[in-house]
Amino acid sequence: MTVETHVDRARDRVAAERDGAADERRAYERFGSVVASIPTASGPTVGPTASGGETDVGTGPSAGGVRAVVGGKSAASTDGCGRVREAFDETVRPHSVADRSADEPLLATVREELGDAVAVALSPKTDHGLTPRLASAIGSAVDDRLAELAVFDQTLTREAASLRSTHETVREVTDWLATADETPLSTLGFDELCRRHEALTERVTTCESLLADRQAVLDRTASRGAAVGIRHRPTVAYLYDDFPVSYPVLSTVARLVETLSECQRAVRDHLTRRA
């Protein structure tokens, strides 16, 4: 007897996602190391104002914590921004655009990954240089992404454990059903039929317990401090978006419960006719 299951495919999907997340984490670590090694400008760039004077525009809500500067460019710091863009393109961007379009502009990817302020500051069309403040902001954004990836890995680890438990239970039940199905009910005595019915009941209870455990997993949230939290249910929706069922574990186990219940009805029918 075979029972349709999507659990094996789900396990493959989670394994691939874990590998991808690990690669992305290493890419961010490399990017962060490169940024930390790039020399920064010794001070803010100063340029003329509209009135003919010079000014240093400080931080503010629109700058997102990144120093905004106007006027002439510092050659060293501007080159530093170019090196940051190049490093991002070589390390992080390949992992980011894998789920989107490879034609996405580089700064659009930077904005998606590191935020608007960093993207604006790194744009070659602005007069922002790689000041210590900007380098620090980039480092903070990288740390935030690494924290998010760490929490995502926690979620994937929990999902992998849930899938492994489900796989083991489903395999045990389906193997038992396949073996039991080799003996026609018509050849069993009354006591043997009772034992068969009891064995089916035990496996129904096991599967129902598995369904309850799975619902508890779906309702959990992985977190790292107060800043990062990832709910499990939306993660599952993302992981299995292209599956024929939205919840492969629940679907598989519920179908197995139906199969076990059908077998129980058949056994009870034989018991009734022999009573």
- Kindly state whether residue 192 falls inside one of the protein's structural domains: yes
Domain boundary among 143, 169, 192: 143
Query: Whose CA is closest to 251, among 187, 189, 141, 163?
Result: 163
pLDDT for 62 beyond 80: no
- Kindly state whether residue 248 falls inside one of the protein's structural domains: yes
Side chain identity, residue 72: G
The mean pLDDT of 148-168, rounded to a whole number, is 96
Confidence grade of residue 64 (pLDDT, cut at 50, 70, 90): very low
pLDDT at position 66:
41
CA-CA distances (angstroms) from residue 137 to 34, 65, 164, 171? 14, 7, 41, 51
Confidence grade of residue 60 (pLDDT, cut at 50, 70, 90): very low
The mean pLDDT of 182-200, rounded to a whole number, is 94
* 156 shares a domain with 58: no
* 153 shares a domain with 74: no
Domain boundary among 143, 173, 208: 143
pLDDT at position 87:
97
**Under a CB-based contact definition with an 8 Å cutoff, are residues 272 and 202 in contact?**
no
Mean of the per-residue pLDDT values of the chain: 84
pLDDT at position 77:
46
- Kindly state whether residue 224 falls inside one of the protein's structural domains: yes
- Kindly state whether residue 1 falls inside one of the protein's structural domains: no
Tokens of residue 114, six digits: 């590191």
Highest averaged pLDDT of the listed ranges 23-27, 53-57, 98-102: 23-27
Lowest mean per-residue pLDDT among 175-179, 211-215, 221-225, 263-267:
221-225
Domain count of the chain? 2
Bridge partners of residue 221, in order along the sequence: 231
- Kindly state whether residue 111 falls inside one of the protein's structural domains: yes
pLDDT at position 226:
53
Residue 222, φ and ψ in degrees, nearest 5 = -90, 140
* 175 shares a domain with 63: no
Burial 133-144 (b: 16+ CB within 10 A, else e): bbbebbeebbee
- Kindly state whether residue 2 falls inside one of the protein's structural domains: no
Confidence grade of residue 100 (pLDDT, cut at 50, 70, 90): low
- Kindly state whether residue 90 falls inside one of the protein's structural domains: yes
Determine the structural domain holding residue 179 and report its residue range.
148-274
pLDDT at position 103:
77
Burial 57-66 (b: 16+ CB within 10 A, else e): beeeeebbbb
pLDDT at position 139:
97
